[in-house]
Every structure is written in C-alpha cells, then in structure tokens.
C-alpha cells in the first residue's frame, strides 16, 4: 500500500532555533499534502494545506511566518518551525492525497515529535 | 462551518463486550466520513470511510459504522472488543478542497479494555 514517511521521527532543539520536518510520499505523487499538529491527549488540528508548486493555505490562527511550508516536488513537502519556542513542542503529522481517477485516498505519516527546550 | 463532535472522552468496556463510539458531524453538503484509530506511539490508521452508497460501512478489525443523515451521526461499532482494541479513536469529516479533501478531526475517544 501507499506509504508516507516523515523525517525526523523526533527532534529536540533549543529555543530560538529552526527545525525542518520532511514529509514524503514514497510510491505515489501527491499534489496536495496536509500538515497537522497534535498536543498530548488531544485531537489533530489541521494547520495548513500544502500545494505543489504554489503557496500553502493556512488555517485560521496558524502563523504562516512561523510555520513555513514548501511543497517543492510531487513527493516532498517540508514544514519549518522557525524560531521555535517551548510552546511549539508538539506532535506534527503530515498526510498526502493519492488520486486515482475519481478515487481519492489520504495517507498519514507516522508523525514527528518536536521538543523545544 | 464543518465540525465533528465525539461526546465521549473516555470509555471503558470489558473484553468481549460490544462497543459503540458516538460521532456527530456538522457539514452543509454530503459528507465524507472517516474513523481512524491511533495506538500509543503509532500513526493514524484508517478503520473505515463513508463516501456514498450503503450507509452501513464495514471496516478493518471487525469494525463497522452507520451513517444516519437524519441524526447527523456516524457511530462506530464492534460486536466484541479485544484487548488490542485499546487506543484513541477519531471520527473525522472530509471537506472538499479543490481536488482533494481536507480532514477535520473530532476530539477523540479513548477506549480502555477491562480484562
């Protein structure tokens, strides 16, 4: 089946540094990917929609300058948390849309756990 | 605006007992509906989905869900739970976005299994 990978799986960084998280669709092309964050024992909150070759669309309340998204190819989207602070510590999950004719399937990555000290 | 409500934060059932997890949605059009499961330290796994057609949907691991338009509900059921079913369950609605659907998740229901 289709697989979506994320790298790294976990990262610890110092406050003020930037962290890049990669999301890859391994055996299919994805023009659309999504980024979510999940706080402990809470639900997934959609952050933004990543569109290949164009700017990402951010959900209300998500700072686009804080969370930079680049969808440079049909198999890769990156999320960069700029000037990270402890409150950015969270579990970040991406998903990728696989289109086969009219059939659309969304596959989720395993997530990246970010801890900002 | 579209939303998903899971009224039960935490449910505990005995192993072998039946299970029903509640989900209500709010969406103006015909919804795409999903149930996902997330085990500790694991990624999201799709249990089942409803796009159209038969309102009773069969999924993996013996789960099923029934779409009831009149009640705006999509409850998840399993006739006999196993200890391995202990996990977090998320109901979700797909919102059509251009050529793909973005998924809005409910708050989740944590399922514990009593031996």
**Spatial distance between the Cα atoms of A46 and A37, rounded to a whole number of angstroms:** 7
Question: Which is it for strands A10-13 and A112-116: parallel, antiparallel or unpaired?
Answer: parallel
Residue B101 has pLDDT above 90, yes or no: no
For residue B3, the cross-strand partners are B26
SS3 A54: coil
> B107, B6 in Cβ contact below 8 A?
yes
What Cα–Cα distance (Å) separates residue A4 from each residue in A23, A39, B39, B43?
A: 7, 21, 18, 11
pLDDT digit string, tens, across residues B6-34: 999 999 999 999 999 999 999 877 788 99
Centre a 10 Å sphere on the Cβ of residue A102 and count the other Cβ atoms it contains.
5
Confidence of residue B99 (pLDDT cuts 50, 70, 90): low
CB distance from B112 to chain A under 8 Å?
Answer: no
Confidence of residue B36 (pLDDT cuts 50, 70, 90): very high
For residue B103, the cross-strand partners are B94
Which stretches of chain A sit within 8 Å of chain B by CB?
31-32, 34, 36, 41-46, 49, 93, 95, 97, 99, 104, 106, 108-111
**Spatial distance between the Cα atoms of B54 and A14, rounded to a whole number of angstroms:** 52
Question: Which is it for strands A19-25 and A44-51: parallel, antiparallel or unpaired?
Answer: unpaired
Q: Best interface-test mutation with B: which of A6, A43, A109 has the largest number of B CBs within 10 A?
A: A43
Q: How many helices (H) and strands (E) does chain B have?
A: 0, 12
Q: Best interface-test mutation with A: which of B43, B47, B106, B108 has the largest number of A CBs within 10 A?
A: B43
DSSP string, B20-48: EE--EEE-SSPPEEEEEEE-TT--EEEEE
Compare B41 and B114 and report the one with higher pLDDT.
Answer: B114
pLDDT digit string, tens, across residues A13-48: 999 999 999 999 999 999 889 999 998 878 899 999
pLDDT digit string, tens, across residues A64-112: 999 999 998 999 999 999 999 999 999 999 999 888 877 778 899 999 9
Residue A10 has pLDDT above 80, yes or no: yes
Confidence of residue B100 (pLDDT cuts 50, 70, 90): low
Give the pLDDT confidence score for residue B31 in this predicted structure. Answer: 83
**Spatial distance between the Cα atoms of A19 and A37, rounded to a whole number of angstroms:** 15
Over residues B78-94, the mean pLDDT reads 95
Give the pLDDT confidence score for residue A2 in this predicted structure. Answer: 66
Q: Shortest CA distance to B2 belongs to which of B37, B36, B30? A: B30
Residues 18-77 of chain B with CB under 8 A from chain A are: 36, 42-44
């Amino acid at each position: 089946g289709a697989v979506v990978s994320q790298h790294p799986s976990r990262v610890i960084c110092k406050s003020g540094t930037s962290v890049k998280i990669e999301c890859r669709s391994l055996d299919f092309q994805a023009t659309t990917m999504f980024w979510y964050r999940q706080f402990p024992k809470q639900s997934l909150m959609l952050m933004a929609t990543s569109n290949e070759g164009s700017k990402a669309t951010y959900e209300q309340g998500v700072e686009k300058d804080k969370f930079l998204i680049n969808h440079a190819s049909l198999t890769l989207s990156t999320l960069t948390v700029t000037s990270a602070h402890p409150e950015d510590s969270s579990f970040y999950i991406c998903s990728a849309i696989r289109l086969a004719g009219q059939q659309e399937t969304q596959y989720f990555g395993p997530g990246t756990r970010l801890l900002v000290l | 605006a579209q939303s998903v409500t899971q009224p039960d934060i935490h449910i505990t059932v005995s192993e072998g007992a039946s299970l029903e997890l509640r989900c209500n949605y709010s969406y103006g059009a015909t919804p795409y509906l999903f149930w996902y499961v997330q085990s500790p330290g694991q990624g999201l796994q799709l249990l089942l989905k409803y796009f159209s057609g038969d309102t009773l949907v069969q999924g993996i691991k013996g789960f099923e869900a029934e779409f009831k338009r009149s009640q705006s509900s999509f409850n998840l059921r399993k006739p006999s739970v196993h200890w391995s079913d202990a996990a977090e369950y998320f109901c979700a609605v797909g919102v059509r976005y251009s050529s793909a659907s973005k998924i809005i998740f409910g708050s989740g229901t944590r399922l514990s299994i009593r031996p």
